[in-house]
């Protein structure tokens, strides 16, 4: 797996790494559909057509520090790569891990 370096902007600024992994979007679509059948409501951000898989590196960055945070990430990790070892469900903004699924082997 490799990562794109991009950022969300809007009400909150977020600098993040976006994983580029085959099948990740389809997995999210299946999870979303099953959750909907169970009556689990999600934010529009998590709809399969809008969802952006990401690993947050800087959250709620003050506007005057945003470019600095983005460039710091790009200069320190120009071509990051890694392995998926677990999937988790995180309650934000509480930052509580609700569920975690560990993989027996990296995918």
| Cα separation, 31 vs 106, whole angstroms | 20
CB of 63 closer than 8 Å to CB of 12: no
Q: What percent of the chain has pLDDT over 90?
A: 9
> What is the 8-class DSSP label of residue 34?
H
CB of 32 closer than 8 Å to CB of 20: no
Each residue's pLDDT, cut to its tens digit, for the chain (107 residues) gives 455 555 566 667 788 888 877 788 898 899 889 989 999 888 888 888 888 888 888 888 887 888 888 888 888 877 777 777 888 888 877 889 999 988 875 44
């Amino acid at each position: 797996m490799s990562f794109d370096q991009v950022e969300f902007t809007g009400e909150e600024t977020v600098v993040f790494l976006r994983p580029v992994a085959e099948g990740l979007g389809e997995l999210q679509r299946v999870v979303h559909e099953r959750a909907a059948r169970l009556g689990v409501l999600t934010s529009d951000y998590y709809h399969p057509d809008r969802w952006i898989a990401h690993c947050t590196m800087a959250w709620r960055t003050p506007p005057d520090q945003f470019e600095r945070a983005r460039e710091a990430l790009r200069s320190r990790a120009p071509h990051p790569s890694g392995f998926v070892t677990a999937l988790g469900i995180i309650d934000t903004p509480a930052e509580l891990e609700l569920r975690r699924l560990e993989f027996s082997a990296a995918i």
